Amino acid sequence: MNSLSLRKELFLTLVIALLSLCDLVTSLVAVWGFTTDDAYIAWIYARQLVNGNGLQWHVDLPRVEGYSNFLWVIIAATVMKVKLPLISTIKMISCISLAGGLFALYRLGRLFFSPLLAILPVFMFSHFIGVSWWTVSGMESVFYCALSLLLVWQCTVAFGYQQIGAKQTDFNCSLISTRAWIVTNCTLLLLALTRFEGVIWCIPILLFIVFHLKRCGIRTVFPESKIILLWLGITFSCFLLPYAMYFIWRWNYFGYLIPNSYSCKGLVPGQLFAVDSVFLITLLPLAIVSVPYFFSLKDSRHWLLWSPSVLYAILLWKANPVITYFLRLFLGPFALFTLLPVLGISHFLDYFKLHRVDTKIVITVTVVIFTLVFIPGNDLQYLHSFIRQYKERTQIRLAVANILNTQATPGATVFFGDNGIVPFTVRNDLRFIDTDCLNNPELAHAPYKENLALYAKYIATVVKPEWVITTYEPLQSQENCIFKLLRKEHFFEQYQLITQLQSGWVDEQTPGHHKKTIDYIFSVYKHR
């Protein structure tokens, strides 16, 4: 069989890396103006912390853990404290995280492949439209993804796997790395602090370790008992103890085991598999191509590549589909899964004795074509259109904030569900009650949990907010359930409609089509 020279392989590797870089930079520049409204939720908590009020939604309202990204809140608070420009700094941190995550993905690939094949998962993942989009969003998504890739890479190295082509053997059961094990546990801690469900990454790690030790033998991996004790001590001091301290603190501080941001996400009916279905459709072509690898003889590392996808699919089977598009919550599992098609194609070609061509070239061409055909890429025209649409929605949100800033009385209560840039921009004395439950502990616990009718009656008879702002999505004929219940009780007869604000888009791809499609409507009501 012909084989590529090392120089030619490195040249092709560099070419694909540059193509990936150009694609990423172009798409990042195209979407740089996008900042998702939900990013401001974490920044509200960060600002309260910087102002000395602790982690609170509002100083005059009960404490609530409405954020789902503790470490990201702390990072944002640090940026505010040192008076750096918040949005641009957060985006730069996310870009650095993306670079680190792609590096970790490549280094993980080098434990399976030569340089040329190891760059292919990077090409596949960076091509995906959600990567650039969530990098500039202001959310923790790419930072969290990078940590998950670092975790899997370092865990694999810790148990003796070496990069292909290294002078030493590619794998030696007894060639463990204590340094990599320290990094593994520290990274696991950061994952668990970044998002509450981050601790779920313990499961793929444990599955890998259990089957690895079963395959190699405990005494082969750890010839001395003192090494086992050392590693257990590292896990205790670098992960278990600090995470236990954090968990006990947040339980005591907020009063609940589960964050409010998680407790309330399954309250809206009709959401079964709404998030999973998009992920599974995206993953299906990759899974089909990966089949030959699953039927081959393989080591225990395969648990690290596919089990996170299964775990997250189980975790999110009832999740609210809002702000989950472009696989935001699946970026880490998706990145790990991109190694499997390369492995699948490689094992498939092993069935054939290709003497006239180098299989690396065949695999590379196949993966590149597969990526361009089956993985949703960065359509710049679509992204520009999406951003214009989102910016228009941001403008009507800012218009709502301006109305409240100029017309609301001091200390007024605002009943509103689109809580992001609006409460971040308005005066600090205004109190926002979240209709979507995220920052509303009453909706996530008894007696109002799963009893919206009772809560609607409470709002109408006890709270009587000075301002009510409804959101309506006409394309889906969708309105918040609480507002529907309040309308049945003639609640809005006590309020005056101040204004209606609309956003939408014009379909520029249809010639002669200039009619604007409305997709979002705010109705601003003031108590009479």
Model pLDDT for residues 86-101, shown as the tens digit of each residue: 999 999 999 999 999 9
Query: What is the band of 514 on the pLDDT scale with cuts at 50, 70, 90?
Result: low
pLDDT at 17 over 80: yes
- pLDDT over threshold 70, residue 269: no
Instruction: Give pLDDT, residue 83.
Output: 97
The answer to whether the beta carbons of residues 69 and 190 sit under 8 Å apart is no
Q: Given pLDDT bands bounded at 50, 70 and 90, which one contains residue 512? A: low
Under the banding of pLDDT at 50, 70 and 90, the label for residue 351 is confident
Please give the pLDDT value at position 174: 66
- 508 pLDDT above the threshold of 90: no
Q: In the prediction, which pLDDT does 462 show?
A: 95
Distance CA 225, CA 221 (A): 11
Cα 158 versus chain centre, distance: 26
Share of the chain above pLDDT 90, in %: 80
Whether pLDDT at 494 is above 70? yes
pLDDT(268) > 60: no
Region 383-411: what's the mean pLDDT?
A: 95
pLDDT at 177: 95
- Please provide the average confidence, as pLDDT, over all residues in the chain: 93
Q: Please state the rounded mean pLDDT for residues 154-159.
A: 97
pLDDT band of residue 322 (cuts 50, 70, 90) is confident
pLDDT of 344 above 90: yes
Q: 15-19, 274-278, 512-516 — which one is most confidently predicted on average? A: 15-19
Region 122-130 average pLDDT? 98
- 48-84 tens-digit pLDDT: 999 999 999 999 998 999 999 999 999 999 999 999 9
What does the pLDDT read at residue 265? 63
Exposed / middle / buried, residue 191 (Cβ in 10 Å: 0-12, 13-18, 19+) = buried
What pLDDT does residue 479 have? 86
Three-class SS of residue 513?
coil
pLDDT band at 3 (very low <50, low <70, confident <90, very high): low
Which is more confidently placed, 445 or 402? Answer: 402
Sequence-ordered list of residues with C-beta below 8 angstroms from that of 247, at least 6 positions apart, any chain: none
Mean pLDDT (whole number) for 424-429: 96
The residues with which 523 forms a beta bridge, in sequence order, are 470, 500
- Mean pLDDT value across residues 392-403: 97
Select from 434, 431, 483 the least CA-distant residue to 456.
483
Residue 477 pLDDT exceeds 90? no
Query: Would you say how long the chain is, in residues?
Result: 528
One-letter amino acid for residue 80 of the chain: M
Burial of 471 (0-12, 13-18, 19+ CB in 10 A): middle
DSSP code of 478? E
Tokens of 155: 């865990």
pLDDT higher than 70, residue 266? no
| SS3 call for 27 | helix
Do 152 and 336 contact (CB within 8 A), yes or no?
yes
Q: How confident is the model at residue 480 (pLDDT cuts 50, 70, 90)?
A: confident
Dihedral (CA of 28, 32, 34, 38) sign: positive
Query: Which tokens sit at 501?
Result: 């604000």
Task: Pick the range with the lowest mean pLDDT from 208-212, 264-268, 399-403, 458-462.
Answer: 264-268
At 203-254, the pLDDT tens digits run 999 999 999 999 999 999 999 999 999 999 999 999 999 999 999 999 999 9
Question: For position 438, what pLDDT does the model report?
Answer: 86
Least confident window among 90-99, 126-135, 342-351, 444-453: 444-453
Query: What are the φ/ψ torsions at residue 498 (nearest 5 degrees)?
Result: -80, -45
pLDDT number for residue 171: 63
CA distance 177 to 157: 7
What is the rounded distance in angstroms from the CA atom of residue 473 to the CA atom of residue 471? 7
Percent of the chain with pLDDT over 70: 95
pLDDT in tens, 285-306: 999 999 999 999 899 999 999 9
For the chain, domain boundaries: 13-263+298-305+327-335, 381-527
Determine which of 240-254, 352-366, 506-520 has the lowest per-residue pLDDT on average: 506-520
Q: Are 165 and 116 in contact (CB under 8 A)?
A: no
Tokens describing residue 353:
């004795």
**Which pLDDT belongs to residue 323?**
83
Which residues sit opposite 495 in a β-bridge?
527
